[in-house]
Amino acid sequence: MKKRIMALLIAVTTVASGIVMGGIDAKAADLVIEEDITSLRDSFDAAFEGETYAGVSIVGTELSDENLMALVTKHFNAVTLGNELKPDAMFGYSNGKAPELISYELNGEEFMAPKMDYSRAEKMLDVIAKWNSQNPDKQIKVRGHVLVWHSQTPEWFFHENYDKKEPYVSKAEMTKRQEWYISEMLTHFTTKYPDLFYGWDVVNEAVSDGTGTYRTEKENGESLNNDTHGSNSSWWAVYQSNEYIINAFKFANKYAPDYVELYYNDYNECTPLKSNGIIQLIEDVKAAEGTRLDGFGMQGHYTLQQPTGGQVKTAARRYAEAAGSVSITELDVKLGSTLDGSDEALEKEYRKQYYYFKEIYKGLTELHDEGINIRTVTMWGVIDCNSWLQSSNNVGGAASGSSRQYPLLFDDNYQAKPLFYALCGEDMPQIKKTEVDEQEADLDVEDVIVVEDNSNVTDENATGNDTVEAQVDNSSDSTTVLVIILAGIVGLAAAVFTIKKTKK
């Protein structure tokens, strides 16, 4: 009886610890990643002759998930920080009110600006730098994301005295602020982490979906009084021209080391109207004096219906010819809207997903064989349940949040999905459910009392496309579950005490 009670205590406390430790599913926390499958980074090295990074985005809350990070270090040789290098993060998410002003130096003069907070990004970069020092043969590089963006930049940044209630600053003052910010970001991070960054997204999403020309402050009915914006551009509100884009690439060229590649990045990049606008932006930047633009980032937020693999290939060739190189920087794919929740329907969608990714992979390898520089293919997240597509968002490429999505290479249990093999250039494996072994805690099988975990708790800090946090709906209240579990532990302890007392 004592062995049975102890087994139950071990099982219950294992479930409890899985909930307490960051909200990761207790069953998933006990899994080990698949060691016998091909490494994606090795597959890319073979297919692209070592010239293309296998990339992935991660956010700070995922660092504590050992299985997720094991997938990162096994399969990828480049990462993008999903949120932690964006302007709002660098100002400590003080979106409503600017942090205290402190003195900086800019071009030999004192410049007063809000105090920057490097801590979130450095926490992640320290982990990557440590991995690199301990694994010199499996280095991981970083893509900086992003310096200039209309979204996730606090509105006060554009106003006099850094107060959104006051008028916009002049173009001359805004240019000083822009140079200060870009110089601080590039100098700080490339000095503290030399050779870690292979590139930076200098400007993000500056072309309008509706017009195919430059994004303005009048994209929709969104108020410019909001703390941040999803569509409207306060950069354009100040300049009324693309001057801020040209300046951004001038300043990035001035402060970035030569080995750091500089990119423009955008979504809906395969639609003809917007594609023409992106090409125009690239040409405008490259024609300006003192700028440097090394490549274009196709975000790659696709569906199974559009764009087609052929359209992706055509667009990639065109962008590489205009910009010098092309990357897919935020790849994920939304499934069909008719999933009925059955295993059969999901397996059918997985097959479609495999063949869709296979067509994209085929096009990219063919472009490489033509001499096109495919710099990186980056997935926007590691495991499905953490994807930003699980909830609604008002920025480009987002999902409505009305249906469960399966957009990434690995499922919620850290297992490779069929589309993973498509990006490895391999045949589609047989689709089967993942079986999770029950933890036996080194006890005899007949003495183990199985406690089934139905909590289905997921990490609420999901990867954002270009959003601070995507909240994933939980099927149960983890607090309630934890109270019940703790109550059970107390009850079991009382039972042990009663047994001992009876034996006495």
Q: State the pLDDT confidence band at 31, using cuts at 50, 70 and 90.
A: low
Which pLDDT score, from 0 to 100, does residue 222 have?
A: 87
- Summarize the confidence of residues 376-404 as an average pLDDT: 85
Res 389: pLDDT:
93
13 found inside a domain: no
Instruction: Report yes or no: 367 and 374 within 8 Å, Cβ to Cβ.
Output: yes
Query: What is the pLDDT, as a whole number, of residue 402?
Result: 72
Q: What is the pLDDT of residue 403?
A: 81
Q: Per-residue pLDDT for 1 more than 50?
A: no
Whole-number Å distance between alpha carbons of 196 and 216: 34
Q: Please indicate, yes or no, if residue 205 is contained in any of the structural domains.
A: yes
Q: Is 371 a member of any domain?
A: yes
Range(s) of the domain holding residue 45: 35-90+116-434
Task: Determine the average pLDDT of the residues in 350-367.
Answer: 97
Confidence of residue 441 (pLDDT cuts 50, 70, 90): very low
Question: For position 338, what pLDDT does the model report?
Answer: 65
Q: Does 468 map to a domain?
A: no
pLDDT of res. 393 = 73
On whether the CB atoms of residues 415 and 408 are closer than 8 A, the answer is no
Please determine, for residue 473, whether its predicted confidence score (pLDDT) is greater than 50.
no
Instruction: Kindly report the CATH number assigned to the domain that includes residue 83.
Output: 3.20.20.80
- Give domain status of residue 350, yes or no: yes
Quick one: pLDDT at residue 478?
A: 40
pLDDT of res. 34 = 79
What band does 394 get if pLDDT is binned at 50, 70 and 90? low
What local confidence, expressed as pLDDT, does residue 129 receive?
98
Task: Provide the CB-side half-sphere exposure for 478 (13 A, CA).
Answer: 19
Is 99 part of a structural domain of the chain? no
Note the pLDDT of residue 13.
Answer: 35
Residue 170 lies in a domain: yes
- pLDDT digits 0-9 by tens, 63-113: 999 999 999 999 999 999 999 999 999 999 999 999 999 999 999 999 999
What b-and-e string marks burial along 115-125, b requiring 16 or more CB atoms within 10 Å of the CB? ebebebbbebb
| Confidence band for 431, pLDDT divided at 50, 70 and 90 | low
Residue 11 lies in a domain: no
- Please state, rounded to an integer, the average pLDDT across all residues of the chain: 83
Please write the tens of the pLDDT for every residue from 230-256: 999 999 999 999 999 999 999 999 999
Residue 444 has pLDDT above 60, yes or no: no
Q: Is residue 455 over pLDDT 60? A: no
Task: Tell me what pLDDT residue 19 has.
Answer: 30
CB atoms within 10 A of CB 401: 16
Query: pLDDT digit string (tens) for 283-316?
Result: 999 999 999 999 999 999 999 989 999 999 999 9
Span 108-157, pLDDT tens digits: 999 999 999 999 999 999 999 999 999 999 999 999 999 999 999 999 99
Q: How far apart are CA 392 and CA 394, in angstroms?
A: 7
52 touches 44 (CB < 8 A): yes
Q: How many CB atoms lie within 10 A of CB 352?
A: 16
- Looking at the structure of the chain, the number of domains it has is 1
